[in-house]
Amino acid sequence: NAGVTQTPKFQVLKTGQSMTLQCAQDMNHEYMSWYRQDPGMGLRLIHYSVGAGITDQGEVPNGYNVSRSTTEDFPLRLLSAAPSQTSVYFCASSYWRGQGANTGELFFGEGSRLTVL
């Protein structure tokens, strides 16, 4: 019953530090995505992927990098953390049926709370 697993759950960084948020899913989902959630802003899409080797930008991609080397894993990298990146980050996956199909039901991890000082 693992579903979507995110690590770490909490992290404090100093401005300029780099780090990677890990996301793994065991449902064999092709579609994976990263969102950030800020008060009053809802969930905003950072990057998404429709399969291994394929990634694309969402609404707020600046300052973040992603890669998708396997179906299971979709790490999010912060290259040089800024206070504006203080947020709760959610990874989500879905069973995507292919080109032209809807995203479908998203399964979310429990979130990673990041504070940048």
Give the footprint of other proteins on this chain (CB under 8 A): 4, 33, 35, 40-45, 48, 56, 58-59, 90, 92, 102-106, 108-111
Question: What minimum distance in Å lies between the beta carbon of 14 and other proteins?
Answer: 25
CA gap 107, 77 in Å, rounded = 21
**Nearer to other proteins among residue 14 and residue 100 (C-beta):** 100
Question: What minimum distance in Å lies between the beta carbon of 99 and other proteins?
Answer: 10
Q: Which residues pair with 91 in a beta bridge?
A: 34
Could you write out the DSSP letters of every residue in 61-85?
-TTEEE--SSSSB--EEESS--GGG
What is the helix (H) or strand (E) element at residue 116, kind and residue range? strand 112-116
**Nearer to other proteins among residue 12 and residue 16 (C-beta):** 12
Question: What minimum distance in Å lies between the beta carbon of 16 and other proteins?
Answer: 29
